[in-house]
Amino acid sequence: MKLEYTAEHQAFREEVRSWLKANVPAEPLKSFDTEEGFQQHREWEAKLYEGRWGMITWPEEMGGRGADLLQWLIFEEEYYAASAPLRVNQNGIFLLGPTLMEYGTEEQKKRFLNGMATGKDIWCQGWSEPNAGSDMAAIRSRADLSEDGSHYIINGQKTWSTRAVWADWCFGMFRTDPESERHRGLTFILVPLDSEGITVRPIPQLDGLPGFAEIFFDNVKVPVDCRLGGEGEGWSVAMATAGFERGLMLRSPARFQETAKRLVELYKANQETADEDPSIREAVLRAYMDAEAYCLTTYQTACRLMQGGKIGAEASTNKIFWSELDQQMHATALKILETRGELLPESPDAGDVGRWLDGWLFAQSGPIYAGTNEIQRNIIAERMLGMPRK
Partner 1 sequence: MDFTFSEDQLLFQESVRDFLVNEITPDKIRQLWETDSGRSDELWQQLAEMGLTGLTVPEDFGGLGMNELDFVLLAQEAGYVALSEPLVNSVLVATPLLSECGNSAIAEQWLPKIASGEARAVVGLAVNKLVEDAHCADLLLLEKGGAIYAVEAANASLRANESVDPGRKLFAVDFDPAAAVCLAEGGAAQALINKALNRGALGVAAQSLGLAQRMIDLSVRYTSERKQFGVAIGSFQAVKHHMANIAYKLEYAKTPVYRAAYDIANDTPRADLSVSHAKLAACEVADLAAKNSIQVHGAMGYTWEVDLHIFMKRAWALNSSYGTAGFHKNRVAAVLLADNAALGAGATF
Q: Is 363 helix (H, G, I), strand (E, B) or coil?
A: helix
Compute the least distance from the CB of residue 386 to partner 1, in Å: 7
Minimum CB distance to partner 1 smaller for 188 or for 267: 267
Distances (CA, A) of 80 to 16, 300, 359: 11, 20, 15
Beta carbon nearer to partner 1, 79 or 169: 79
- CB count in 10 Å sphere of residue 384: 13
Q: Which is nearer to partner 1, 138 or 289 (CB)?
A: 289
Nearer to partner 1, 30 or 304 (CB): 304
Nearest approach, Cβ of residue 87 and partner 1 (Å): 15
Question: Least separation, in Å, of the C-beta of 291 and partner 1?
Answer: 9
Phi and psi dihedrals of 387, rounded to 5?
-75, 155
DSSP assignment of 138-189, as one string? G---EEEEPTTSSEEEEEEEEEEEETTTT-SEEEEEEE--TT--TTTTEEEE
Distance CA 32, CA 88 (A): 7
Give the footprint of partner 1 on this chain (CB under 8 A): 1-6, 9, 13, 70, 74, 76-78, 80-81, 253-255, 257-258, 260-261, 264, 267-268, 281-282, 284-285, 288-290, 292-297, 299-300, 302-304, 307, 314, 316-317, 320-321, 374, 376-378, 380-382, 384-390
Cα–Cα distances in angstroms (integers) from residue 310 to residues 23, 123, 276, 313, in the given order: 36, 27, 47, 10
The catalytic residue among 78, 129, 245, 258 is 245
CB 267, CB 281: distance < 8 Å: yes
Q: What is the CA radius of gyration of the chain?
A: 22
In the complex with partner 1, the residue whose CB is nearer, 239 or 384, is 384
Are the C-beta atoms of 239 and 379 separated by less than 8 Å? no
Residue 245 annotated among the catalytic residues of the structure: yes
Cβ atoms within 10 Å, residue 312:
14
Q: How far is the CB of 375 from partner 1 (least distance, A)?
A: 10
Minimum distance between the CB of residue 48 and partner 1, rounded to whole angstroms? Answer: 18
Residues marked as catalytic: 245
